[in-house]
Chain A
């Protein structure tokens, strides 16, 4: 299955033809992706994949359950709730920028914005909200961003991921770029995201147990024991890049938006579990 996907991407990437909307088929990718993980891990309940390494290893799971009983990300949720309620200098709040006042909407992100032709992730949406209201944007990797996204994720706990890819060539191109990014090798270690998260989930890389790519974004943002602090999606992606000795990209970079778009679509139907804890 993986080979089929990789060959399809290679053919697309190597061809001299422009990418046609007809060549991009997220629904077919979704089916193949889902079938691959179900076949590889027949004993893992579908919804459990969102728990990352804890769905793969019983010893890790027990420790996770102990920590999740009273998790350290609670402070981030509270901080995010406070930030949400605090008006900007112009009197508006985050609630004014989001559907349903920003409550229970996290599972819709990333979404494609037809007007700008861009994929908008939750973190990008938050910064666009701030800038539209005369406020400074948040650092994509720091605690303030993690707090707001932790709160928003918490209000969406349990809701199924619900990503839409409209039949718009720009949206399809962004999706396909995300998929390509995911399967492209990079860094000194020459690993793609897929090398770890599609080929080797449940296995060890040095001392860490690898999470499956299916549902891998559902727990974000996360409190990582290794950092003893919160990590935004951007922070985690940058660390993934560094860990393969590749170059981390800045927050809001198209490749990060697009790979999140791809992975989130692949996770459609799986519950939002964020904010989460991870090793």
Chain B
């Protein structure tokens, strides 16, 4: 059976908005009581890429390129999802210098489900859980050496994953 480890929790940062955040620019770290790490920034979110209905348009918006099929990208997804609301999907690749991974669900209302940025030193392997509205081709795309490579697999969904 599964255990879960307790996380050691430090004080959470306070949300700073507007004027104070803007004033950070000229200050050296340590002058204010903020942690040295910067938090997740909504500005990184590629809003446009999440709006498209086709693989080609999505990849163009996200990476500015198209993908070629590769057998060096692996996509682990069930043949028949137990429930479309929670479909465990994993992507991995043996290609070199991978900087990004994206997962598209072609029959979803918007095709891009998730995209991941992998800095140097981070492995080319991601597991996540996605919603699928209905039976669909799932496409895993990997950005390696500035080019895109993909693999796809059909996942059958018998109960819609979006609350239907």
A-side contacts of B78, CB under 8 Å: 59, 62-63
In A133-147, which residues have CB < 8 Å from any B CB? none
A72 to chain B minimum Cβ distance, whole angstroms, is 8
Do the beta carbons of B2 and A273 come within 8 Å of each other? no
Q: Does A60 contact B (CB under 8 A)?
A: yes
A90: Cβ under 8 A from any B Cβ: no
Docked complex Cα distance between A66 and B81 (Å):
12
User: Roughly how many angstroms separate A66 CA and B86 CA in the complex, as a whole number?
Assistant: 11
Q: Contacts A63-B88, A207-B158, A226-B159: A69 and B82 contacting too (C-beta < 8 A)?
A: no
Known: A59-B78, A59-B79. A273 touches B1 (CB 8 A): yes
B residues 45-60 touching A (CB-CB < 8 Å): none
The interface residues of chain A lying within 8 Å CB-to-CB of B88 are 63, 66-67
Confirm or deny: B110 has a beta carbon within 8 angstroms of a beta carbon on chain A: no
Give Cα A69–Cα B81 distance, bound, in whole angstroms.
Answer: 17
Q: Decide yes or no whether B94 CB sits under 8 A from chain A.
A: no
Which residues of chain A come closer than 8 Å to B87, judged between CB atoms? 63
Tell me, yes or no, whether B83 is within 8 Å of chain A by CB: yes
Contact with A along B57-69 (1 / 0, CB 8 A): 0000000000000
Closest to A224 in B: B83
Query: Which chain B residues have a beta carbon within 8 Å of chain A's beta carbons?
Result: 1-2, 4, 78-83, 85-88, 90, 127, 129, 158-159
Contact of B83 among A69, A157, A206, A225 (CB under 8 A): A225
Kindly list chain A residues whose C-beta atoms are within 8 Å of the C-beta of B159. 207-208, 226, 279
User: Quick check: is A68 within 8 A (CB to CB) of the other chain?
Assistant: yes
Given the contacts A158-B1, A207-B159, A225-B86, A63 and B81 also touching, CB distance less than 8 Å: yes
A48-78 interface bits toward B, Cβ cutoff 8 Å, 1 = contact, 0 = none:
0000010000011011101111110010000
Question: Contact between B82 and A71 (Cβ–Cβ < 8 Å)?
Answer: no
When the two chains form their complex, are residues A225 and B82 in contact, meaning their CB atoms are under 8 A apart?
Answer: yes
Known: A59-B78, A224-B83. 4 other contacts (CB 8 A): A66-B127, A70-B2, A74-B4, A225-B83
Contact residues in B for A66 (Cβ distance below 8 Å): 88, 90, 127, 129
Contact of A279 with B83 at beta-carbon distance under 8 Å, contacts A62-B78, A63-B78 already known: yes
A228 adjacent to chain B (CB < 8 Å): yes
Contact with B along A235-279 (1 / 0, CB 8 A): 000000000000000000000000000000000000001000001
